[in-house]
């Protein structure tokens, strides 16, 4: 994929910096970040869930942070488990450290997280403020008072 230079657009637009940064990040190679695998699903009208496969990690080895529309999930094994004396003949379960970032839309909040059976479930909810929700405007019947008609008098 060809790299697109957005620098001329930065000069002529105001407030779209984040959009251009997101477009730049989409153009990066796909092979950059593949571990751990994850799913993103819609569970309701305004509810979403991210499920990550984090086999071998405990609750104390994973940290979740939401800051300015970016959700960061980090996992790092403790030093006690790194210094094991056993010898692996085949290692298929990855235990390497990871950091995965997700861009969240405006007004999407992290509700909670749960680690169950090697899967980390992160619940998200979109909370649109009342002033941004569409509202219905009532139509008032303005024709109730009719204009008074003035009749011309005949001249005798």
Q: What tens-digit pLDDT sequence spans the chain (156 residues)? A: 456 666 666 666 666 666 666 666 665 555 556 788 999 999 988 899 999 999 888 899 999 999 888 899 999 987 655 556 778 788 777 778 899 999 888 888 999 999 999 899 999 998 888 888 788 888 888 665 666 666 766 666
Q: Based on the fold, state whether residues 24 and 91 are members of the same structural domain.
A: no
- pLDDT, residue 115, reads 94
| 16: in domain | yes
- pLDDT, residue 107, reads 86
Measure the CA–CA gap between 95 and 55, rounded to whole angstroms: 8
| 146: in domain | no
Measure the CA–CA gap between 107 and 69, rounded to whole angstroms: 8
Q: Based on the fold, state whether residues 78 and 10 are members of the same structural domain.
A: no
Q: Based on the fold, state whether residues 18 and 43 are members of the same structural domain.
A: no
Q: Based on the fold, state whether residues 71 and 25 are members of the same structural domain.
A: no
| 22: in domain | yes
> In a 3-state reduction of DSSP, which class is residue 130?
helix
Q: Based on the fold, state whether residues 22 and 79 are members of the same structural domain.
A: no
Overall number of domains in the chain: 2
Furthest C-alpha separation in the chain: 125
| 115: in domain | yes
| 140: in domain | no
> In a 3-state reduction of DSSP, which class is residue 63?
strand
Nearest in space to 5 (alpha carbons), one of 31, 18, 23: 23
- pLDDT, residue 50, reads 93
| 90: in domain | yes
- pLDDT, residue 12, reads 60
- pLDDT, residue 138, reads 86
> In a 3-state reduction of DSSP, which class is residue 21?
helix
Q: Based on the fold, state whether residues 27 and 102 are members of the same structural domain.
A: no
| 43: in domain | yes
Indicate the DSSP class of residue 144. Answer: S
The whole-model pTM stands at 0.63
Q: Based on the fold, state whether residues 28 and 73 are members of the same structural domain.
A: no
Measure the CA–CA gap between 67 and 75, rounded to whole angstroms: 17
- pLDDT, residue 130, reads 82
C-alpha 122, offset from chain centre: 11
* CB distance 47 to 39 below 8 Å: no
- pLDDT, residue 56, reads 84
Q: Residue 70: which domain range?
A: 34-128
Measure the CA–CA gap between 101 and 65, rounded to whole angstroms: 10
Q: Based on the fold, state whether residues 54 and 28 are members of the same structural domain.
A: no
Q: Based on the fold, state whether residues 11 and 62 are members of the same structural domain.
A: no
């Amino acid at each position: 994929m060809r790299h697109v230079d957005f620098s001329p657009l930065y000069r002529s637009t105001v407030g779209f910096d984040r959009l251009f940064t997101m477009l730049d990040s989409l153009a990066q190679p796909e092979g950059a970040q593949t571990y751990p695998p994850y799913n993103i699903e819609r569970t309701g009208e305004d509810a979403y869930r991210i499920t990550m496969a984090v086999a071998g990690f405990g609750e104390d080895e994973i940290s979740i942070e939401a800051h300015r529309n970016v959700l960061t999930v980090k996992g790092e094994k403790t030093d006690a488990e790194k210094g094991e004396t056993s010898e692996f003949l085949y290692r298929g379960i990855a235990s390497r450290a990871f950091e995965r970032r997700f861009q969240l839309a405006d007004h999407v909040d992290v509700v909670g997280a749960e680690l169950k059976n090697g899967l980390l479930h992160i619940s998200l909810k979109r909370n649109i403020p009342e002033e941004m929700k569409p509202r219905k405007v009532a139509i008032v019947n303005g024709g109730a008072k009719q204009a008074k008609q003035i009749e011309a008098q005949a001249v005798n």
